[in-house]
Amino acid sequence: MIDAQQIQATMARYVELVDAGDIDGILALYSQDAVVEDPVGQVPLAGLDAIERFYRDGLGTMKVSATLTGPVRATLNGCGAMPFRVDMEWGGQPCSLHVIDVMEFGADGKIRSMKAFWSEVNVTARGAV
Cite the DSSP H helix spans in the chain.
Answer: 4-20, 23-28, 48-57
In degrees rounded to 5, what are phi and psi of residue 127? 45, 50
14 carries an active-site annotation = yes
Architecture of domain 4-125: Roll (3.10)
pTM of the model: 0.93
In degrees rounded to 5, what are phi and psi of residue 66? -135, 140
From 3, 19, 33, 38, active-site residue? 38
CA–CA separation, 33 vs 103, rounded Å?
14
From 14, 30, 55, 101, active-site residue? 14
Strand partners, 101: 82, 116
**What is the pLDDT at residue 129?**
42
Which amino acid belongs to residue 83? P
Which amino acid belongs to residue 34? A
**What is the pLDDT at residue 127?**
64
Q: Per residue of the chain (129 residues), what is the pLDDT tens digit? A: 799 999 999 999 999 999 999 999 999 999 999 999 999 999 999 999 999 999 999 887 888 999 999 999 999 999 999 999 999 987 788 999 999 999 999 999 999 999 999 999 999 998 644
